[in-house]
Amino acid sequence: MKKRQGWVKLYREMLDWEWYDDTIVKIVYLHILLSANWEDANYHGTVIKAGEFKTTVRQIAADLKISIQQVRRALNALKRTNQITTHTTSKYTIISIKDWGNPNYVNKQKSIISTNEEQTDNKQTTNTLFIIKEEKEKEEEKERENKKIIPSLAQVIDYCNSKKYNFDPQRFYSYYTARGWKNISDWQALADSWHHNEYSQKSEPKTNAGSSFDIHDLDNLTLFID
């Protein structure tokens, strides 16, 4: 048996690799990592560079005791996600590990993981800011409620008398008290509006069409009999 020498460094970040949970893809990739040249070598006039591996699909299947179809699926998956590239001849295939020997390779992988973590942190930060904003809005609403001036019936009566309003202050006060004086910041302006509406209704001319007949109006009628 050929003696294997050297070593391959694996980082724990590989646990976060997208193919880590796919057993076939994972063992094929590990096989490629362990089989790749650690320095350039010549083979029949062809330079097999460091990070490259001369093999065949059939040979990988035999070494790992899996089917040829499984090997092909794994290689296609690795190529699709840019872990490897392949160059096939009539006799063999050269598999190249992407970014092999590049000192920035590890930093690149860490950068990808850091980006994912940063996106997660940003999402958590956004959620936190939303909660803070929601709580702030609740506090502001509560503060507005506390600052809201709710008049007494006596104040309403005094104000209506000072303005010489003819509407019933008790009815006005009871109406808005039943509603908790919600969304009302100026009850005096509200009283002004109430008076305006009452005055407008009383000022509207009566018409026969659609009007109701009040029995008390009989006192004002004069009957003419021929």
Which residue ranges make up each domain of the chain? 12-103, 145-203
Helix (H) or strand (E) holding 42, with range, is strand 41-43
The three-class DSSP label of residue 170 is helix
Q: Which of 14, 121, 16, 32 is nearest to 75 (CA)?
A: 32
DSSP annotation string for 61-101: HHHHT--HHHHHHHHHHHHHTTSEEEEE-SS-EEEEETTTT
DSSP label at 212? Answer: P
**Do residues 181 and 146 make contact, with C-beta atoms less than 8 angstroms apart?**
no
Which CATH number is 12-103 given? 1.10.10.10
Pairing mode, strands 84-88 and 93-97: antiparallel
pTM for the full model?
0.44
Distance separating alpha carbons of residues 81 and 91, to the nearest angstrom: 26
Cα–Cα dist 31/64, whole Å:
8
State which amino acid sits at residue 66. Answer: I
The alpha carbon dihedral of 220, 166, 170, 212 has a sign of: positive
Q: Which residues, in sequence order, are CB contacts of 115 under 8 Å at separation 6+? A: none
pLDDT in tens, the chain (226 residues): 455 667 777 778 888 888 889 999 999 999 988 888 877 788 887 888 888 888 999 999 999 999 999 999 999 999 998 888 998 888 889 898 887 665 554 454 445 445 555 665 565 666 666 666 677 777 766 666 655 678 888 988 998 899 888 888 898 889 888 888 877 778 888 888 888 887 676 665 555 544 444 444 434 433 433 4
State the Cα–Cα distance between residues 203 and 196, nearest whole angstrom: 10
Q: State in Å, rounded, how far the first CA of the chain is from the last one.
A: 139
How many angstroms separate the CA atoms of 15 and 174, rounded? 69
